[in-house]
């Protein structure tokens, strides 16, 4: 039985999807810089989750967006003197190449924000209809006072929320005349291009409405699992769930909220805005894709991950040894019902305890007979992708 930690309920609970198909929405990249280890770790965590569900016979519908319009893309494009849409397209291509090299199980659908403006506007109209949103000149804001469960996901005080908001790229664009400081933009009337026509005049969608509209469009009113990096809990996910539930009346809109811990370098978050990044394509000059997966997955996924080159080198040695003991994956390999396989799968089903699963694989692989080895290869190759 798969058990997963839900950020909203702050507990590990038996995973019970609503229907036959498990729906998963993961917040994707804002393509303005190349894939770093933080992106890779987050997406590989969900990659293992999807592979595990599929190995256990579940059908998964996995959606991951591309935020191809965003204030940070516009700022970078202006700095570099390139058109914003070309910057987005070329960076998205690089991201897909990097993730393909890492053996990523690609999402079933990758919606782009710029192609779903109508869905966002439909949602904003419904929120206005329901009295959960209001207009200020050519902009529309969500009224957090209309969301009784607001703050339940992040459990932050309003003061702490305001402090985080002040650090966001788009905070400077917020209308001073909005009703409350935590109210957030659904639509921004802005004079500078790119803008799209709307019932409120030309403008751009707010960041949070993009994901709500795309999840609704591609997965329906509720999703079983919604994931992303831990830095998205507030404001992005708190705002997303508030507007989704206010729009559809379906509550909870998300069964399980899953958040991957951030990757740090010298104790600081690895981030595009801070420029302290280690890129996947550089790391792949020093380690094979399987070794890099081994390294990034061999730590509890909810905790922060401190990148250290000597640890990457040690992971590569352990990965090579595991691959040598297990042998090459074969088409005929199948999951067995042996005790060793059961223990490894049990670790993965305990809220994706990959470090424990890898440790068990290493131990079992040293003395397993051919039949057990074939079964362990299925977990190591098809689920974890580390051989």
Binding residues (CB under 5 A) for Zn ion: these are 27, 211
Of residues 133 and 254, the one with the C-beta less far from Zn ion? 254
In angstroms, give the least distance from the CB of 56 to Zn ion: 27
Least separation in angstroms between residue 133's CB and Zn ion is 19
User: Least distance in Å: CB of 216 to Zn ion?
Assistant: 12
Q: How far is the CB of 195 from Zn ion (least distance, A)?
A: 21
Cβ distance to Zn ion smaller for residue 105 or 236: 236
Q: CA triplet 24, 100, 327: central angle to 5 degrees?
A: 100
Nearest CB to Zn ion, comparing residues 27 and 48? 27
CB of 215 to Zn ion, least distance (A): 8
Instruction: Between 25 and 295, name the residue whose CB sits nearer to Zn ion.
Output: 25
Token reading at 48: 């293992």
- Shortest Å distance, C-beta 280 to Zn ion: 21
Q: Specify the residue, 76 or 208, whose C-beta has the smaller distance to Zn ion.
A: 208
| Smallest separation (angstroms) from Zn ion to the CB of 70 | 11
* Residue with smaller CB distance to Zn ion, 211 or 315: 211
Closest CB to Zn ion among residues 22, 27: 27
């Amino acid at each position: 039985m798969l058990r997963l930690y839900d950020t909203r309920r702050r507990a590990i609970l038996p995973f019970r999807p609503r229907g036959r198909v498990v729906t998963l929405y993961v917040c994707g990249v804002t393509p303005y810089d190349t894939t770093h280890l933080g992106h890779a770790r987050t997406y590989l965590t969900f990659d293992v989750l999807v592979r595990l569900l599929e190995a256990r016979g579940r059908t998964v519908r996995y959606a991951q967006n591309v935020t191809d319009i965003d204030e940070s893309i516009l700022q970078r494009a202006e700095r570099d003197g390139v058109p914003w849409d070309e910057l987005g397209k070329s960076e998205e291509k690089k991201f897909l190449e990097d993730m393909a090299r890492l053996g990523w199980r690609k999402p079933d659908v990758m919606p782009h924000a710029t192609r779903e403006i109508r869905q966002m506007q439909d949602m904003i109209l419904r929120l206005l209809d329901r009295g959960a949103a209001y207009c200020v000149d050519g902009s529309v804001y969500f009224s957090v006072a209309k969301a009784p469960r607001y703050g339940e996901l992040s459990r932050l005080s309003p003061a702490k929320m305001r402090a985080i908001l002040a650090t966001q790229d788009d905070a400077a664009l917020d209308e001073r005349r909005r009703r409350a400081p935590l109210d957030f933009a659904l639509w921004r009337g802005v004079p500078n291009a790119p803008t799209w026509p709307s019932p409120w005049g030309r403008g751009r969608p707010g960041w949070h409405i993009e994901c709500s509209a795309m999840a609704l469009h591609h997965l329906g009113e509720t999703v079983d699992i919604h994931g992303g990096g831990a830095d998205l809990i507030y404001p992005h996910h708190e705002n997303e769930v508030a507007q989704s539930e206010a729009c559809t009346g379906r509550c909870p809109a998300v069964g399980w909220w899953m958040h991957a811990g951030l990757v740090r370098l010298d104790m600081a978050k690895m981030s595009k805005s801070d420029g302290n990044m280690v890129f996947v394509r550089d790391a792949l000059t020093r380690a094979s894709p399987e070794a890099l997966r081994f390294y990034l997955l061999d730590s509890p996924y909810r905790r922060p991950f401190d990148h250290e080159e000597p640890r990457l080198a040690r992971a590569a040695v352990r990965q090579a040894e595991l691959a040598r003991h297990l042998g090459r994956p074969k088409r005929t390999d199948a999951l067995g019902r042996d005790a060793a396989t059961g223990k490894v799968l049990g670790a993965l089903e305990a809220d994706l305890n990959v470090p424990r699963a890898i440790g068990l694989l290493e131990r079992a692989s040293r003395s397993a007979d051919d039949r057990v080895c074939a079964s362990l290869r299925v977990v190591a190759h098809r689920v974890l992708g580390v051989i």
